[in-house]
Amino acid sequence: MVSYTQSPLLASLRGRTFEPPADLRRYLCNQLILGLEQYYVHLPQKRAGFAIEPVQALYLLRESDGKGYLRGLLRIIASLHDRHTTLRLGAPWTNLIAYVPFVIERIVLNGQPRYLLTKRLYGYSDIPIGATISHWNGVPIDLYVNALADETQGANYPARLRLGVANLTIRPLAYVLMPSEDWVTVTYYDASGALRTVSTPWRYFVNAPPQSAGAASLVGEAAAVVGLDRKLYLTNRFERDALREVKERPTALVAEDPFRYGTMTTKSGPVGYLRIFNFDADPVQFVNAAARILAGLPQGRLIVDIRNNPGGQIPAGQKLLRLLTDKPLNPAPVAFRSTDSTLRLSQLGYFYPWHRSIALRTTTGMDFSQSFPLSTYQDVPAYRYAGKVALIIDALCYSTSDFFSADFSDNRVGLIVGVDPTTGGGGANVWTWDFLSQTAAGVGGGPLPLPGGYNFNISVRRCLRTGINAGIPVEDFGVPADVVRELTLADVLSDNVDLIDFVAAKLEDGS
């Protein structure tokens, strides 16, 4: 088993200078200015909603003396509050995960926030499972988390708060700077109610680059329909790998990546349960596997749980909805911004449906193209779930998970129960800079590749809701829950037992 103490200390990277040279600093700024001005689909909404001017900020950074350049660049990108639109740093940060060896979760008891240590990684044992954390580095932990939340790219407050908790102990250094401290000091209540303090150093892990349906190696139409928060994807992947090393606590559920499923025994009787950790898979293979799993579960009541799901292939999520109902469905469509550059892109075959509306922009004055869906239901299995369905969400549901939640709600498939008031608000189709530059080169011009191991992900097409919400963007707003039900102590320590009982009862009484 890998031991936490075998990981190198993050402090060993201190004192090294990794700021890019002057010519690369200007190059990065120039390319990102082009990307935001010509391709970034949310630019008008972000300017209005957050009162920011990221393009001007990039011009100013380009002309600066270069001191604190990366911090300034990441701050500009964070100001977009868009987990799709991110800068991936070059070497040595690209595949490094900074971590302390435990996971903390937040619940609310009697109206007050409470932070619990719920998982330990790589054999760590200094703090017991279930310990209530009172302070982090001497700061009351709720104050610390809220300050950390303000530095995240969360689009709404519930998302920022969830990300603040997630960033406490695991940070992919491809997307964020090193923690400012070399170790953390955690104060917690022990079993007797006494306060104890433990110091734990930050260490780092070299993560193998992901090779999957959502990875940067995708080409063609598959690369054009990704909806993924890559930072959260890497965080989740690291945590699950670390937990496998120490053997996760036993469960009656079957694990079959990216699913966990089975029949749950609840106070109101048996219920089918399907947890989906991501949609990062070939859409046809994903939906075929889901149909096989669903057919083997109880057919009267089903809980689909997508909490903490960073997304993946948008068609995988949208096709899944077809298995859950035989109602007529309208998948959420997407639109480009109307610019000279997107007009050229829309000459390509699989973007051509958007071409005419962009070409008419000088006459119509429209900032956005027409919207068309990315998914069809033509290659979906014949299986349809006949019973009642509930969807569980939280504010870490993002991107494809936002698409899926929007379709679930707008097509009135079932009840949405949120442990937060809304999903994360990731309403876009995201492209890597490599894919954008290669695609744009095929129609003359466009952004250039980023050197030095840097890469950029950018929201290129925005998601719009359908039904009674037709035309409302998902970005920033997310998809609201029908019922909000916060996690309990038993939920975070005993596999969501209260939450599953609550949702199953809601399905039973039809509310």
Of 176, 206, 236, the residue that ends a domain is 206
> In 3D, which of 481, 496, 478 has the Cα closest to residue 420?
481
In a domain, 246, yes or no: yes
pLDDT at 447: 93
Do 112 and 175 share a domain, yes or no? yes
Distance, in Å, from the CA atom of 48 to the CA atom of 210, rounded to the nearest integer, reads 35
Residue 346 within a domain: yes
Q: Are residues 202 and 242 in the same domain?
A: no
C-alpha 399 chain-centroid distance: 6
Q: Does one domain contain both 291 and 392?
A: yes
Q: Indicate the residue type of 420.
A: D
Are 181 and 39 members of one domain?
no
Where does residue 36 fall: left (phi above 0), alpha (psi -120 to 50 degrees), or beta otherwise? alpha
**Which DSSP state fits 10?**
G
Is residue 215 domain-resident?
A: no
Bridge partners for 106 per DSSP: 115
Contact 426, 404 (CB under 8 A): no
CA quadruple 26, 29, 34, 40: dihedral, nearest 10:
170
Q: Which residues of the chain have pLDDT under 70?
A: 1-2, 17, 209-219, 245-250, 511
DSSP structure class, residue 35: H
Number of domains present in the structure of the chain: 3
Give the E-state strand segments of 53-95 in sequence order.
86-88
In a shared domain, residues 414 and 360: yes
Do 27 and 155 fall within a single domain?
no
Q: Is residue 37 part of a domain?
A: yes
* Residue given tokens 């868009």 in the structure block: 82
Q: Is 308 left (phi over 0), alpha (psi -120 to 50) or beta?
A: left
Distance CA 45, CA 12 (A): 42
- Regarding whether 185 and 298 lie in a shared domain, the answer is no
pTM attached to this predicted model: 0.95
- ∠ Cα 413 414 415 (to 5°): 150
Query: Looking at the structure, do residues 225 and 189 belong to the same domain, yes or no?
Result: no
Of 431, 286, 280, the closest CA to residue 348 belongs to 431
Any idea what the CATH number is for the domain that residue 128 is in?
2.30.42.10
State how far Cα 357 lies from the chain centre: 31
Q: Which residue has the tokens 């680059």?
A: 209
Residue span of the structural domain in which 105 resides: 4-9+95-206
Indicate whether 107 belongs to any domain.
yes
Residue 249 pLDDT: 55
Spacing of C-alpha 130 from chain mean position: 26
Q: Determine, yes or no, domain membership for 364.
A: yes
Name the phi and psi angles at 311, rounded to 5.
105, -155
Q: Is 137 found in the same domain as 66?
A: no
**pLDDT score of 216:** 45
Among 173, 206, 239, where does a domain finish? 206
* Structure tokens, 336: 């480009």
**80 shares its domain with 108:** no
Answer with the one of 183, 206, 229 that is the final residue of a domain: 206
One domain for residues 256 and 399 = yes
Residue 211 lies in a domain: no
